[in-house]
Structure 1
């Protein structure tokens, strides 16, 4: 039943103490971050994209995540901040000529060098295996080591020549402090984009209202043209009156017309032959409207004074 042959058990064999905290293997953690997709846990293969927090994904996995509308989608914390395909940037990576992971089939009889990275920094030549800090630019997606950006300080990308600022530099797979800084930048960037969209909408609405008002009200050119046409018509009328008065031998002053000229110009409706008798009977000049003195009434006032 045990303890035969003079064996003496020790205390740690009989009494169970507290369990030791299991430590994560650093090499395994680095491999999981730099060689596998954060969302699908599959090997990284081109096209590779990175989010605004510096995590690596396969582009196909991100597209499937965005198209998926199931309830399990909300449980994925690694990609909860990705709202559209514009939230990620496709990376422009430089291949490592010394890497031959997919080229040769490993049967188990060969040493697999985990520290050998698939991609390298095109400026310094450091391998992207997690041992060195790497970053990428949001404008162009080119990937460099942090050492290259510190040693060669420029405001233009080393690879494609696109200008960038400090806010456009995003560290890949950074620590907690780096992730907090990147979160703040992401929130500020999204607030700016919302404000710009609102200002553009307000400006477009104001422009549309101004166009409606200008189309409804006549412009200054139209008002001027109307005034000019009215003044021209008045001038023509004055010229006609002046010519008629001059023909009848009256004075040449415009605006004054003699009685003789007025009699020639005016024509009574009773004398016109074009109008019918029914139409003429409406007016007081017609014979039917004239009454004899016997039928006419006396002139009466309210305050008549007779002496």
Structure 2
């Protein structure tokens, strides 16, 4: 079949050589890291968070992943180290004034700069497009370029003023070597946190044992001034508790009867007594009363 009509086949048409290795476009690779979520592969939209390894995510995608880890999603290996939102840090990013986003008309009639990024460094002004190294601080979440941290050396954040240390700096979308170092630091922090937890549990256990012992034996005995302990239910304990108050059981019983006395029986002036409905001046005669009058009227 073929080669009719005087056609002459060439060598590359007859001999099949090895397939060429497909090269990944660097611009597309950088755009996938810096413009799209590492978990859902959607465009980055605020709020944007980052993990301890420096990957960038949409906060909504991380919450969906944590709520239902059984769902079939692509790139779940990227978020396998995330245990909860405590492992994430919301990034405080600075918008790029030259970024048009979805407002621009992609008609193909003009040059489109693929390296134009959504965010920039607030100190130097470099665009966060992958060509420059960027970091964020775990204390406040502010994002800066590595050049800004090297040129302006300080222990205070350039944007919000919070103090930080070199250990708090995390590289965003770093190389494999940088990711391995960050993973080692993450495992060390988690191991230290686990070693501290049993100590707190021991304190809680001792407190619970003390409370159980008190419930079983009753309240602790109260020492009397004479040196003898007074147990619960004893007359000496009752007198010791009632002594400081200066009142006995008989005096306590007399107080309610005194409170039930009417105002008319108290030694007050007639003007003061006339303020209340129990006074004789507030009572009506039968001629003044009608069917709609309440039992204790407050006006005539």
Aligned to 1:289: none
User: Within 1, Cα distance between the matches of 2:83 and 2:137?
Assistant: 20
1:167-197 superposed Cα distances (whole Å, 9 cap, x missing partner): 2111111110011001111111111222222
Change (3 A) 1:227 1:74: farther
User: Within 2, Cα distance between the matches of 1:70 and 1:44?
Assistant: 24
Number of aligned residues: 227
Counterparts of 1:88-127 in structure 2, within 5 Å, are: 88-127=88-127
Aligned to 1:56: 56
User: Within 1, Cα distance between the matches of 2:110 and 2:139?
Assistant: 41
> 2:40–2:75: 8 Å Cα contact kept in structure 1?
no
User: Within 1, Cα distance between the matches of 2:169 and 2:229?
Assistant: 66
User: Within 1, Cα distance between the matches of 2:17 and 2:151?
Assistant: 52
Aligned to 1:294: none
Structure whose alpha-carbon radius of gyration is higher: 1
Deviation for aligned residue 1:228: 9.8
Counterparts of 1:223-262 in structure 2, within 5 Å, are: 225-227=226-228
Q: Secondary structure in 2 aligned to 1:42?
A: coil
Deviation for aligned residue 1:200: 1.3
User: Within 2, Cα distance between the matches of 1:159 and 1:2?
Assistant: 72
Aligned to 1:154: 154
Counterparts of 1:264-279 in structure 2, within 5 Å, are: none
User: Within 2, Cα distance between the matches of 1:162 and 1:177?
Assistant: 29
1:217-269 superposed Cα distances (whole Å, 9 cap, x missing partner): 967x727733499xxxxxxxxxxxxxxxxxxxxxxxxxxxxxxxxxxxxxxxx
> 1:167–1:185: 8 Å Cα contact kept in structure 2?
no
User: Within 2, Cα distance between the matches of 1:6 and 1:73?
Assistant: 52
Change (3 A) 1:126 1:120: same
Aligned to 2:84: 84
Deviation for aligned residue 1:166: 1.8
> 2:40–2:74: 8 Å Cα contact kept in structure 1?
no
Deviation for aligned residue 1:125: 0.7
Change (3 A) 1:133 1:213: same
> 1:74–1:80: 8 Å Cα contact kept in structure 2?
no
Aligned to 1:172: 172
Q: Secondary structure in 2 aligned to 1:57?
A: strand
Aligned to 2:14: 14
Q: Secondary structure in 1 aligned to 2:104?
A: coil
Change (3 A) 1:73 1:5: closer
User: Within 2, Cα distance between the matches of 1:53 and 1:4?
Assistant: 64
Aligned to 2:27: 27
Aligned to 1:41: 41
